[in-house]
Structure 1
Amino acid sequence: MAAMYQEWQTTILVFAVVLISLAAGAVLRMALARLARRLHPVRHVWTHGLLSGASLPLQMLIWVLGIALAGQLLLQHGGDPPPDSLLAHGLGPVRDVLVIAVVMWFLLRAVNQIQSNLLARARDRERELDPTAADAIGKLTKASVVITAILMMMQALGFSIAGLLAFGGMGGIAVGFAAQSLVANLLGGLTIFASRPFKVGEYIIIPGTDLMGGVEHIGWRATRLIGFDCKPFYVPNAMFNTQPVINHTRMTNRRIMEDIHIRYADIDAVPGIVADGRALLREHPGIKHDFFAFNFSSCGTYSLKLSLYAFTVSTDYNDYMDVQEDVLLKIADIIRRHGARMTGPVSTVDMPQLQGQSPVPFDPAAGSGQAALSPMPPSLPPVPGA
């Protein structure tokens, strides 16, 4: 009778511990979630992040500890278990591993939530917070948490950390040779995060290749870009260690560089055209005034060449096109007001004059570059001495 009472007492005690643990975990999770919802993520960045990250892991931690306590009660009041039983030897290490896993889960959730809160606060206060740097710090923090947790789990399971590190040092050489591309991509990702040659949202160009696009995501192995055709493509991070990168977004001005050709017959109008063109650039609101050039640069094989070199104030592509269009049209108007004409490639054809025939006339109505030729005589005059 006493043995039956002891057995039922142990069963009831274990059941009560498990039930209380489940109920306490659920209540605590709901309380923390409600408290986190009351806190504003922008005004309470850290507190909101910790409470939001702790709700589910704390519930799981209470469950793990409750079940571990129930198992301990079974060992103490359920009789002496066999010395080699799994419950006697595995309860402690399994409990420690689960506790470490739950703490790791909490820290990872908290890091993600705090990172999101910091970015939201920067946007709310209209401050610039580099999302690439924030993402890099978050990834490094999470990697440190995971590596530390794994080492603690292995130590809890009875592995020697010193021996593991020594084995890792020897095996690292073999792994490095076997995974050179992976290691190179990881180092390339670290280089991007450290030097920040570009960040998410910027447009980059890799010279010597057809790779250009907007940066959407910077990962540990590859960087995702989106091209002009709205198709994403992935660039291995190792390429950024060996290839130059042009950051198109960080340009300070856009360049206008054009060659304008006028006729040789308008050589006397060149000084006036150049002077009025410089005055136009000097007064134009869309042109950067600290440096520009408009000069008579060379005498080409078919025309006189005027070179225009200037920078726009705005880097927006639509503004740049509007300014360039306005400047070119006004320069064309200046040329026209000086009585000159713009021209393109032309060619001269020398037509021999036949004996007894008038010169071949040119008829402009016949079309550009075409001549209306007089009809050929029915027979050519005899060649003397033939």
Structure 2
Amino acid sequence: MISLYRCDQYEEGRVMESLRQAIAALGGWEAYLTPQDTVLLKLNLVMNKRPEAAATTHPVFVKALIRLLQEYGCRVVIGDSPGGLFNVTALGRIYRGTGIESIAEETGAILNHNTGSMDVQNPDGQVMKSLTMTAMLRDVDKVISVSKLKTHGMMTFTGAVKNMFGVIPGTMKAEYHVRMPQADDFADALLDICHAAAPVLSFMDGIIGMEGNGPTGGRPRAVGAVLASSNPYQLDLAACSLIGLSMEQVPTLRRAYARGWIPSSADELEWSGDPREEFYVGDFKLPDHIESDLIGKNLPSFLAKPVNALLRPKVTFHHDICVGCGACAANCPAKVITMKDHRPYADYSSCIRCYCCQELCPKNAVSVRESRLFKLVRRW
């Protein structure tokens, strides 16, 4: 079941009412929680950006969920493990900058500061049979995913499933990128992680999403949607259908379909709430380079790899707006970025095209550009 309700602005009363309707359509809190449960709201706090940038779960959305859970009698913990360092100081900066700290103060919700890790066996995983996950999961009874509707440079779309990548401790995420540089392999890892984290509910902030060069460098785009489901894989399929994304364009959807976890089309989902055709955004912009990653997807593997290697885009560093913080180099999974005179340079021959440098740049000084060869192919 997919709950879809209209909400056009971040006004607390309106957001709360849309969320109240969404959870009621799914059977109410009692179908998933019991009073006195300690519940983790696993947010998308990818980096320290203000709410109006549309890169992170909006604090008003979070506040409304906290109030509803507290009404039911739950104790609420708010948390995430963003990219980069995962320590109390780094978390504090992100909680403050994204507006989440003030929401915790207003509501009495608990900000997670447990930066420990734990080893988890995942026998049902396809590529990840064991995982290292954040110890904050051990502090709670249930997990709820609270994602943001956004495009993504590597994975095309980031929503409920990829949000759960944030249960992998900070810099350890780099290891997963290096081990699985291909999008479909990384998608399988994301599915395994989401399955292991086992969110009982997933909510998506689609009131204002992000289009273009997401997940942090794109533009805010109004969608006006509050979405919810007990199935994060189906929720992503539903959200993608609202912005014109097909299953073939989104690696996590392709792999979820291959596992039999989602139907072939959002038309086969069960929907509740407002008519979904009222939300459709047909010109939702994708990352600039995304088409080039799809050229070789139907070619035999021995051809697809060299073709994609020639056509795939590369990152470009804009030294004129770079502030020399070094976040790109520090968080490069493949360690191919070096700082020279406080400016980044990359060894493109070893770049795995994860685009973490673009994702974590605080000044949007990293872009991903199509290759010259791809531009010629597209014109032809």
Pairwise same-fold verdict (TM > 0.5): no
Structure with larger Rg:
1
TM-score interval, normalised by the smaller of the two chains: under 0.3
The answer to which structure, 1 or 2, has the higher relative contact order (CA under 8 A, 6+ apart) is 2
Looking at secondary structure, tell me which structure has more strand per residue.
2
Looking at secondary structure, tell me which structure has more helix per residue.
1
TM score, norm. by length of structure 1: 0.24
